[in-house]
Structure 1
Amino acid sequence: MYHITIPVRCDDIDANGHVRGPAYLAYADHARWTCVQAAGVDPASLTARRIGPVNLETTVRFHRELVPGDEVEVSCEFHWGTGKTSRVTQEFRIPDGTLVASVSSVSGLLDLDRRKLLPDPGTYWQELVTRPELLGLAPKTA
């Protein structure tokens, strides 16, 4: 599982003095992209193959407020099935371990030319990664 710590920025705060909802989505996206890059995927390699990740559904559950001065650790855990989609679950925790929010996303890989989802997206990611364990994929065999 991958983790990244993100400081709460002043421009992430709403009129109520806590982090606004869209900022949680931005944190989740940032964590997923840094995870993919840490796994060895260069975003340019996706473009060169004419494929791109797409978010099809996102659910956010809020458990506790985040306020200015907080830091939040965001995790990423990928879950692969046999169809055209995968799921990513993410937990947002403050340094003492308290769960602040959770995000669950359904994603796919889009053929950028045909505008269709590709079957079994994990096989495409497997071809691109150098650290498959970060994306919940089996290690490559020699």
Structure 2
Amino acid sequence: MFRVTIAVRADDIDANGHVRGPAYLAYADHARWSCVRAAGIDLAELAERRIGPVNLETTVRFHRELVPGGEVEVGCEFHWGTGKTCRVTQELRAPDGTLVADVSSVSGLLDLDRRRLVADPGAYWLELAARPELLGLAPKTT
């Protein structure tokens, strides 16, 4: 599972003194993009192909408070089926390892000209990725 550590910023804190809900979504988004980049995907190349990643559904389950003054570790794991989408599961953990939230998203790749999801998004990622295993895809064989 890909992991990234993110600093909790002062503006992530709500009136109750803990991290506000939208910040959890921002942490999850940051981790997904970091994972895609770490896999070697060039977002400019996707744009040249007129393909763009889209998030179709996101569910956040909160387990514990995340408080100011620290960091959060966010994991990212892609799960592929046979359709036009994949599921991305993410765990957000406090510095002591405590699970503070989990995020589940359904994502796809949008054909920017036709405004429709591409039929096999994994094939696009696999073609472009230097490290497809970070995206839950079988590495290329030569």
Using the size of structure 1 for normalisation, the TM-score is 0.98
Cα displacement string for residues 55-101 of structure 1 (whole angstroms, at most 9, x for unaligned residues): 00000000011111121100000000100010000000112211000
Q: 1:120 deviation in Å?
A: 1.5
Mapped to 2, the partners of 1:140 and 1:16 lie a distance apart of: 48
Q: Distance in 1 between matches of 2:6 and 2:34?
A: 12
Q: Paired residue for 1:29?
A: 29
Q: Distance in 2 between matches of 1:94 and 1:67?
A: 9
Read off the aligned partner of 1:128 and give its amino acid letter. L
1:42 Cα deviation (Å)? 1.2
Corresponding residue for residue 46 of structure 2: 46
**Structure 2 CA distance, aligned partners of 1:94 and 1:17?**
15
Distance 1:59 1:134 in 2: 22
Please identify runs of 4+ aligned residues in structure 1 that moved more than 2 A: none
**1:141 is matched with which residue?**
141
Report how many aligned residue pairs link the two structures: 142
Q: Residue 139 of structure 2 aligns to a residue in which SS? A: coil
For 1:113-128, list aligned pairs within 5 A. 113-128=113-128
Partner of 1:62: 62
Q: Secondary structure at the match of 2:141?
A: coil
| Alignment partners' CA distance in 2, 1:43 and 1:16 | 37
Mapped partners of 2:75, 2:105: distance in 1: 13
Provide structure 1 residue ranges, at least 5 long, that are not aligned to the other structure.
none
Q: 1:12 maps to which residue?
A: 12
Residue identity opposite 1:123 in structure 2: A
Matched, 1:81 2:86: no
Q: Distance in 2 between matches of 1:11 and 1:44?
A: 30
Shift of the alpha carbon at 1:46? 0.9
2:106 counterpart of 1:106: yes
User: Which segments of 5 or more consecutive residues in structure 2 lack a partner in the other structure?
Assistant: none
Letter in 1 for 2:59: T
